[in-house]
Structure 1
């Protein structure tokens, strides 16, 4: 961070802010209104801005991405329309993980105990084969383990265990996830 007092100036460098302005233009002109099946095109645009993109990644056109250079999307993962990847810090999404529509993955918060309220960023990891259902909110610093399912509209404030179905506000493990086929 450039500034520890958010009341007197921005938290990010001029270089970072200029890169986000450029990304904003590319997002609006080339990403946002691209046809839904053009996943390869959107993956290409993201990789041009520093995202690490696996094979057969499906990022839909209405996904909002703050900083592509802080994204790592593994093979065959999917990010649904209306999802927000607020990538002030690093976001890692695992193989075949699904982020449903309207999910908010937020890596930034502020230290409200400091009078300058400096920005704090903490990375988020969503494991292989995990599914984060519609409109869930993922807090900074959370890890959602492999195979975990997060119920719709859940608020995830702590790490969630592998191969469990978890839901609620705050989100808690409910039962084991069983794959039947």
Structure 2
């Protein structure tokens, strides 16, 4: 049971990460299908670029709503070490893990090489700049960038052109 499930996840991840010669213009949408097969919750119209890493052991904690774009070389993490009781001379290898879900709301975009940390929600329509490290929630309809990622601009509503 568990071994077969793990093998399925690993095979899907390998195919989605770097498909090699079978890469086509449509493969970024096929990756969304593979991520569903790994256990991620993936909506419609999602595009996932090549070399995007996901938290293989915690795929069920990843929630991606419709029309999200995750560009090449990004990383989505759902676990990290719990550092709150880490002290001088402790063995960091023995620290426990914290597992938290990641939610990417409808229509958000993750820039190339960005890292999304556990427990983060990226709001609807938000855009994350390339190489950003997202450690906290990002509000809807904002542009955020940096390490750590911070909101740099709010996206305004389109003015009615018919007036």
TM-score normalised to structure 2 length: 0.75
Give the count of matched residue pairs: 146
**Residue aligning to 1:88:** 57
CA contact (8 A) 2:47 2:68 kept: yes
C-alpha deviation, 1:23, in angstroms: 3.2
Deviations 1:23-82 (A, max 9, x none): 334555x653444235676555555x4xxxxxxxxxxxxxxxxxx11x011110111111
CA contact (8 A) 2:81 2:98 kept: yes
CA contact (8 A) 1:165 1:173 kept: yes
**Residue aligning to 1:163:** 141
TM-score normalised to structure 1 length: 0.69
Q: Does 1:24 align with 2:24?
A: no
* Long gaps (5+) in structure 1: 1-13, 50-67
Deviations 1:83-120 (A, max 9, x none): 11224331111111110111111111122436631222
* Long gaps (5+) in structure 2: none
Q: Does 1:75 align with 2:61?
A: no
Match runs of 1:89-128 below 5 Å: 89=58, 90-112=61-83, 113=85, 116-128=94-106
C-alpha deviation, 1:178, in angstroms: 4.2
CA contact (8 A) 1:87 1:107 kept: no
